Structure 1
Amino acid sequence: MAFTISQKIPRAARKGLDRNRAMAWGGAAALALAILGGAQLIAQVEGDRGIPPLANSEDIQVNGIQVDVTGKTGAEARIAGWKQAQKIAWKKLGGPDMPLESIDAMVSSIVIGHEQVGPRRYIATLGVIFDKAKAGQYVGSGSAGVGPRSAPLLLIPVLQSGGVRQVFEVRGPWQRAWAEFQTSTSPVDYVRPTGSGGESLILTAGQAGRRSRLWWRTVLGQFDTSDVLSPVARIERQWPGGPINGTFTARYGPDNTFLGSFTLTAASEQELPRMMDQAIVRIDALYRDALAQGQLQPDPTIVAGGAALDRAFEELRVKLMPKGDDLPPVATPPVVETARPEEAAGVVAAEPVTVQFATPDAAAVDAALAAVRGVPGVQGASTVSLAIGGTSVMRVTVAGGGDRLAAALRGQGWKVAGGGGVLRISR
């Protein structure tokens, strides 16, 4: 049956019909927006993003060795280039004169940064990693002599390219360079997120500009860190396939404090990874200097307790309230400083400890975490670098420090090496 609106239908009826139609169209539009918004939210989380950082180790690593070797074949030239890189790396470390066979016996792996293999020529940029147990007696650990380490600091690498600022939204060269950086040779305790899952929504380029201490306390608590580092890389391409100019800035803390800046240039897109590696070494030097000068201390406004915030809010309320004798006095409850249970019992404060452990499979990860978390005094334990088939790293907060944790793990049957803030455990 057809229904036609004519002029004879009362105006009120027409208004009601129009209202019903508007509500129907509005409901359909709201449903479409909800479905579209949900799909966009899933798209922001899913996808191929995030680069897990390489496992930290205390092995001695020398990077940036350039070789140019010829041979009868490309394979022979490549082997000769690797041997030459081992000799150059050993010389850079200040090692004593030794036969090449002895040096080769102390090398655990060769890191290939960039290589070109021809019919009779080999050109490459290599890195050489020496086994600490074998080479440490001659040249010492790569992390020795650097002084005390900093508190755990969250790393947010910001890349600005083409007018867009990003962190973990896509897999960028700046994030990859930080994931491959050997942090064990630095006194700065970098905590490098993988950038996968919800981390790409929390750790964005806009996060570095936030000032809310409550927000920062929530973010830092998720990664068991005390403060934040924000190294910024601004990339400018002159033309497609041409030179690339990079401006790199080291920033620190919730106020995005400026520590230093420098510029580098890459001749082409193929040279961009090498420029990023060089930039990280200089950025790390800026953070080292800041640590030596006492600038990388955790911000007290982030780690302040609830009593300190209550006092601050009370002072702000007193300043903003109107003054006058006719206003009734406001009773302010006194702030009572209560002693912590661990202080009353005479227990030392909790300290961060880095624990390295072999993870041939997922069961080894669960076993190590369960063993560490079962130690009395452990307040938190989480993996910061996961490498199935290699060496993983966990961050542990334990009362009594590394010595107490090591003694407890030995009691469980674990083999413990190292000491202080860095331990290596194995079965």
Structure 2
Amino acid sequence: MPASSRGARLALTLGLVLAIPAGAPAFAQLPPPSAGQPAAAAAEPPAVTLNLTQRGVPAEASAENGVLAKERALAAGRRAAWAKLLAEAGTSGPSLSDQQIDDMVSSIVIEEERPSPTRYSGRITVNFNAGRVRGALGGRVPGLAPVAAASGAPAPGVPASNWVEAVATYRSMAEWLDLVRRLKGAGQVASVDVQAIAVDAARIRLGLRGPTDTVIGDLAGLGIALVPAVGPRPGESWRVGLAGGG
């Protein structure tokens, strides 16, 4: 290459370098991707809100007697409420037995009922326990918060640190069974020991995971009244029953 040509190229290069302002970045920034290009990372799924209170759930069943028909109808109602919750959450959920579904239920409210000697028909409201439902659905529903973020209640495996002797009162065996189920499903209750039982009352020992004053408020949210006994006899410092019950 002639010397004059090399000199012209060198002068042009020096001119371009000197034309860059001091402090300018060494590399030019790339333009943003066009609308047709995929995003660098997929957007996070929207958070899922679980409807833990299912109302107007049908409960129907037949059996050889009215008591068994009601038990079967309530079991069918709990399963129908669970299926409705799953549908609203957009998942098929795990395959659970009637007992596993029952363990996730905090309470049942009977809206209407039509019992007969061999058949039970009605509509119920089913209230599910938030922590247990989240535990069953963990990893199946995108955007579902983990169990630890759902509640500050102690984990089910935490042992009792406080024990209360109480007399449970109820108007029927069905009400007694409902009370025991709610107590066992409460996050602050570690154990329910039945010491004696009659047709309308039972002496029980509750193992609690926290101070009694704190547990009282948590149980109230599940429809359970735990109150000091009035004029208590030995072993009757507390009374417990369904809120509004006898």
- Category of TM-score, reference length = shorter chain: 0.3 to 0.5
Structure with more helix by fraction: 1
Report 1 or 2 for greater relative contact order, CA contacts < 8 Å, sequence distance ≥ 6.
2
Task: Please say which structure displays the higher CA radius of gyration.
Answer: 2
Report the TM-score when normalising by structure 1: 0.20
